[in-house]
Amino acid sequence: MHTIEPGRPYPLGATPDEQGTNFALAVGREAERVELCLVHDDGSEERLEVTHRHDTTWHAYVPGVGHGQRYGYRVHGPWAPAQGHWFNPHKLLVDPYAQALDGEHRWGQEQFAYVFGDEDTMDTTDGLGAVMLGVVVEDDFDWGDDARPETELSDTVVYETHVKGMTALHPDLPEELRGTYAGMAHPRVIEHFHRLGVTAVELMPVHQFVNDSTLQDKGLSNYWGYNTLGYFAPHRAYAATDELGGQVREFKQMVKDLHAAGLEVILDVVYNHTAEGNHMGPTLSFRGVDNPGYYHLVEGDERHYMDYTGTGNSVDLSSPKALQLVMDSLRHWVTEMHVDGFRFDLATTLTRVEGEQGPDMLSGFFDVVRQDPVLRTVKLIAEPWDVGWGGYQVGNFPGIWSEWNGMYRDTVRDFWRGEPGTLSEFATRLTGSADLYEGDGRTPGASVNFVTAHDGFTLRDLVSYNEKHNHANGEDNNDGDSHNRSWNCGVEGETDDAEVNALRARQQRNFLATLMVSQGVPMISHGDELGRTQRGNNNVYCQDSELSWIHWDEADEDLVDFTASVVRLRKDHTVFRRHRHFDGRPAARDVHAPLPDIVWLQPDAAAKTEEDWEEGARSIAFYLNGHAVPEADQEPSVAEKDFYILMNAWWEPVPYTLPGPFFPGRWEVVVDTSGTFDPEGLRGGAEHGPQVTAGQVLDLPPRSTVVLRQV
């Protein structure tokens, strides 16, 4: 048996030293008693009464307890769900600040703490074998000379990926490393990142998450991980090591190795809801510690959960308890785990204020983040929507935030599938979405541009399916978005038709080329460069299987080369990576002085008029003045060049005359998705392509992109 000493109230969580471990747990003010529960290797539970507290933080120091010790809490207090209090000492609770978790949450026995009926019903099943436990972690990792790459937003190319899906089938990785943090930083995987030229790896959720009972009943599982239980703990199943708490060291080593390779690590974080679900869900941690302190509750006879997320509950960042948790978690991942930024899932929920019907885009959360000396130095990316009233907030996040630009995705998809009336907005999205971001002083880097992401079709499926095919998910194909703005190129699904497959290959290249010549931060979804398919499933959140994993043995190597070539083109020329929005004014120097920074041109080389934008054309051409890049944004190592970019989403050729006076007299073809003018441009092979001259007429092929660079 262990003795117990008073300890200290801060930091929260379990903090070991050479003699023992300090435990501190912040609970609801109504809590009456707290037991620290040490779980030993034989499964026995040792309960220690915590007798000291400071305000609402109960704390104790336990000599002789150190790294690898599993633990939890039992919190006593009023059982009154109708008043928002769910204290239940029969539940062994996960410490919200645990830095590592062990075990698994297994469904199958009674999990509900509260059910509808004539009376509130407390589940009195201890269920020790069906819970997850915190693990004491000693932080002795040697970071050496690790340093954040600190890549400028304008230079960033994001690669969104899944720790398991990225490497589960990689033939060059040892089997024990596949699907793990160690596998993500394996030299062969880093080699692929370098081949593509991406600068940041955005990991889908790696906070400890748990499975859903509905999925377990169907023989499926929560693959994506948007079901968080531990906001300080790396997900245990992604670790190759079996050491208790070893996932922390393995995660840190992954970050260190990726940093050494010049790659930033961005985490997809889910602070908008937790794994406890609605009032019918399990009591695992937050609900039993301080239910009203963590969640948005609905006032009334039965205080159920406000659901802005579609998952059953919403974390309430207008509550000091929840706000502290989120801020402490974010700082932990930056200072202790050395990550470089965050993508916030359903970020609009983080702005919801108690009693407000709509989001508050001036909420205290933004103020706290902006003044934080740690967080204001890293990349902050919002998914700017949720499912609540007024939830779509693209363009409305403040100051230092970037956003997933859903308008970019939708418009680019519409243009390339030939939707009429998209030309004007397409031009706006290509040039950094100034209508969304310039008004409040944000740069093009505020727009994270993407065509595909984890949620929805892969790039190959976007050009292969008109309809979703989600039958494997067990919901009669009712799940997932039914409006995908996709086009199957004439045949639904896989086909042997050579013409259809050639068109699909061209369309994939059109999307990738568009992404890389657009102002803003481009994001590639993992495997799109390889031609990855999910067989038309646009919602593989529950498919932890070969359906969702990358099949490296089926890689489209020509497509990989093309992707790498357009990423390299972007990297080589500042004109695609402007720090400021276009202003339409002439440059202030050299022979190009009469020309603005961007010129939109008609097929006959005349400048577009306002009426031209309204004609419903499905092709576009524009000139980028490389000499008009603001001097403050120029890079000495980059040779500034002018570019002329032509895009035809029409199903027939469109003749374009190359512009004459004041424009460059000679151009070279550096991208040609049709292979008509430069076969190498189709594969992304040649640095220098065939040359064309001013006044020459190019018959721009159907569904194609041509990028010309000044000679």
Catalytic residue numbers read 345, 383
Q: Which residues on neighbouring strands pair with residue 523, listed in sequence order?
A: 158
User: Which amino acid type is present at position 517?
Assistant: V
The DSSP code sequence of 304-330 is: -B--SSSSS--B-TTSHHHHHHHHHHH
The DSSP code sequence of 602-639 is: -TTSPBPPTGGGGS--SEEEEEE-GGGS-GGG--TTS-
- The C-alpha atoms of residue 105 and residue 161 are separated, in whole angstroms, by 25
352 DSSP 8-state letter: -
Contacts of 280 (CB under 8 A, 6+ apart): 112, 114, 115, 312
- The C-alpha atoms of residue 72 and residue 578 are separated, in whole angstroms, by 51
Q: Which residues on neighbouring strands pair with residue 448, listed in sequence order?
A: 404, 521
Q: Exposed/middle/buried for 377, CB within 10 Å: 0-12, 13-18, 19+? A: middle
Taking residue 108's Cβ as centre, other Cβ atoms within 10 Å add up to 10
For residue 111, which of 126, 133, 98, 132 has the smallest C-alpha distance? 126
- The C-alpha atoms of residue 312 and residue 296 are separated, in whole angstroms, by 11
CA 260 to chain centre: 22
- Do residues 244 and 137 touch, judged by C-beta distance below 8 A? no
C-alpha distances in Å from residue 348, one per residue of 206, 438, 577: 21, 20, 28
- The C-alpha atoms of residue 622 and residue 349 are separated, in whole angstroms, by 39
Torsion-angle region of residue 55: left (phi > 0), alpha (psi -120 to 50) or beta? Answer: left
285 DSSP 8-state letter: S
Q: String of b and e for 443-479 (b: at least 16 CB within 10 Å)? A: bbbbbbbbbbbbbbbbbbbbbbbeebbbebbeeebeb
What tokens does 358 get? 């709509």
- Total count of residues recorded for the chain: 711
Q: String of b and e for 577-590 (b: at least 16 CB within 10 Å)? A: bbbbbbeeeebeee
Contacts of 588 (CB under 8 A, 6+ apart): none
- Give all strands of the β-sheet with 45-50 in edge-to-edge order: 45-50, 33-39, 70-76, 132-135, 101-103
Contacts of 324 (CB under 8 A, 6+ apart): 26
Is residue 460 classed as helix, strand or coil in its secondary structure?
Answer: helix
- The C-alpha atoms of residue 248 and residue 274 are separated, in whole angstroms, by 21
Pairing of β 200-203 and β 264-269: parallel
For residue 136, which of 233, 33, 57 has the smallest C-alpha distance? 233
What tokens does 143 get? 């970071």
